[in-house]
């Protein structure tokens, strides 16, 4: 047998220094301040006086190699081939020549990639895989993002909100994205217990692991048609899907009952107020592809009411804390229901425990 060439493993990512443009290498750690030149255009000024210009454009995150090659060509044409992506799936071109900003913006716009997403704008939407690639999704993430951002397009290309506004989409409670700390979160939900596939369950999963996976203890051992299986105490099921993650014989998908919930008021930044979780605004909206009109209307309504009522620099959660939740529901016209009242662990912490009530 001929010896195999040694496989290369455990090398980690390429070193970032290989990808930094010369202007960044010269001024690394020496940046003094930055200015916003226009929506989507930043200028960072170094102690040395050198200026770095960033042009930011939105992308659908799901990119073909054809589009990545287009970005590469634009980077070659305008900035020596140097570019980066942001934590919110935007692409950024790093220029040292300000005369190239406008031609680059024009090329980006013509190719269909909007420039914006900086400062008091709605930046790109952090989101998950959905029906494109996930087994546990209750909805499609990419289609929701596209539908919502089409409706809020001007909020990406302009900076006219009271503060920055961050939207995230997750297609199930696993929340592969910072949905739980976003200004507005769109979350796919299941609403029916798993349909147990008793015939395959003993073959594909271990009952003790499955039983232990349930956070509410709703899964119990059971004998079905003479075979070892499990049963679900349906009143105890909160449709989290953890059992399905550990056992494929517990699918929750249910086209009639799966849907969307809307959450508001979370933030990650420490600016002014502490980071906070999103809180439930709308417990259920129908899953209505391809354009999800009910979800789009609900999100646009919340953005508009926030934009009209919040003070300068108030994030959505800070605005709601100032005006109080009863007024949030009143201003947005969203119905308050029993589902808004927490009944999971430590639920009492979200009950009103004072007489501070606005009448």
What is the footprint of other proteins within residues 323-342 (CB under 8 A)? Answer: none
Q: How far is the CB of 145 from other proteins (least distance, A)?
A: 8
Examine residue 73 and tell whether it contacts other proteins (CB under 8 A).
Answer: yes
Instruction: Write each residue from 10 to 49 as x if it is in contact with other proteins (CB under 8 A), else as -, in one continuous string.
Output: xxxxxxx-xxx---x---xx-xxxxx--------x-----
Q: Which stretch binds other proteins (CB under 8 A): 227-235, 267-275, 325-333, 351-359?
A: 267-275
Nearer of residues 10 and 225 to other proteins, judged by Cβ: 10
List 71, 306, 319, 328, residue binding other proteins (CB under 8 A): 71
Q: How far is the CB of 359 from other proteins (least distance, A)?
A: 26
- Can you give the three-state secondary structure of 119-174, one letter per residue? CCCECCCECCCHHHCCCCCCCCHHHHHHHHHHHCHHHHHCCCCCCCECEEEECCCC
List 258, 260, 295, 305, residue binding other proteins (CB under 8 A): 258
Nearer of residues 41 and 181 to other proteins, judged by Cβ: 181
Which DSSP state fits 211? H
Cis (ω within 30 of 0) for the bond into 76?
Answer: no
Question: Which residues is 44 bridged to in the sheet?
Answer: 34, 52
Please state, in angstroms and rounded to a whole number, the distance separating the CA atoms of residues 309 and 312. 10
Please state, in angstroms and rounded to a whole number, the distance separating the CA atoms of residues 219 and 4. 49
Q: Which stretch binds other proteins (CB under 8 A): 219-227, 288-296, 332-340, 350-358?
A: 288-296
List 1, 2, 3, 8, residue binding other proteins (CB under 8 A): 8
Examine residue 97 and tell whether it contacts other proteins (CB under 8 A).
Answer: no
Residues 52, 27 contacting (CB under 8 angstroms): yes
- Residues of this chain, 127-186, that bind other proteins according to CB under 8 A: 128-137, 139-140, 142-143, 145-147, 149-150, 153, 156, 170, 173-181
Q: Which stretch binds other proteins (CB under 8 A): 98-106, 206-214, 220-228, 320-328?
A: 206-214
- Residue 44, Cα to own-chain centre: how many angstroms? 27
Q: How far is the CB of 331 from other proteins (least distance, A)?
A: 22
Q: How far is the CB of 31 from other proteins (least distance, A)?
A: 4
- Residues of this chain, 232-251, that bind other proteins according to CB under 8 A: 240-242, 244-246, 248, 251
Q: In Å, what is the CA distance from 81 to each residue of 25, 51, 75, 93, 96?
A: 15, 18, 4, 9, 12
Q: Rounding to the nearest 10 degrees, give the CA dihedral for residues 134, 138, 141, 144.
A: 160
Q: In Å, what is the CA distance from 341 to each residue of 153, 159, 181, 184?
A: 33, 35, 19, 19
Please state, in angstroms and rounded to a whole number, the distance separating the CA atoms of residues 313 and 300. 20
């Amino acid at each position: 047998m001929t010896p195999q060439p040694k496989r290369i493993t455990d090398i980690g990512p390429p070193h970032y220094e290989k990808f930094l443009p010369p202007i960044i290498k010269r001024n690394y750690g020496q940046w003094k301040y930055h200015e916003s030149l226009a929506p989507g255009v930043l200028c960072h000024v170094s102690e040395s006086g050198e200026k770095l210009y960033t042009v930011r454009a939105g992308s659908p995150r799901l990119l073909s190699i054809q589009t990545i090659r287009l970005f590469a060509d634009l980077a070659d044409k305008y900035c020596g081939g140097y570019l980066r992506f942001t934590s919110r799936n935007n692409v950024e071109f790093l220029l040292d020549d300000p005369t190239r900003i406008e031609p680059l913006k024009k090329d980006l716009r013509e190719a269909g990639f909007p420039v914006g997403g900086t400062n008091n704008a709605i930046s790109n939407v952090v989101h998950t895989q959905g029906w494109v690639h996930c087994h546990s999704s209750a909805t499609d993430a990419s289609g929701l993002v596209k539908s919502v951002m089409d409706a809020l397009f001007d909020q990406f290309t302009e900076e006219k909100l009271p503060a920055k506004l961050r939207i995230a989409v997750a297609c199930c409670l696993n929340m592969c994205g910072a949905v739980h700390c976003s200004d507005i979160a769109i979350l796919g939900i299941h609403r029916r217990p798993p349909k147990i596939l008793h015939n395959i369950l003993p073959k594909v999963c271990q009952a003790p692991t499955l039983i232990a996976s349930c956070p509410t203890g709703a899964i119990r051992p059971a004998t079905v048609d003479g075979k070892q299986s499990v049963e679900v105490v349906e009143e105890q099921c909160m449709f989290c899907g953890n059992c399905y993650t550990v056992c494929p014989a517990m699918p929750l998908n249910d086209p009639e009952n799966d849907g969307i919930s809307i959450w508001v008021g979370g933030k990650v930044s420490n600016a002014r107020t502490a980071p906070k979780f999103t809180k439930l605004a709308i417990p259920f909206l129908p899953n209505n592809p391809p354009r999800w009109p009910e979800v789009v209307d609900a999100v646009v309504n919340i953005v508009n009411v926030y934009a009209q009522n919040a003070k300068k620099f108030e994030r959505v959660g800070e605005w709601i804390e100032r005006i109080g939740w009863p007024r949030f529901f009143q201003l947005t016209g969203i119905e308050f229901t029993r589902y808004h009242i927490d009944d999971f662990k430590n639920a009492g912490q979200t009950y009103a425990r004072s007489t501070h009530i606005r009448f």
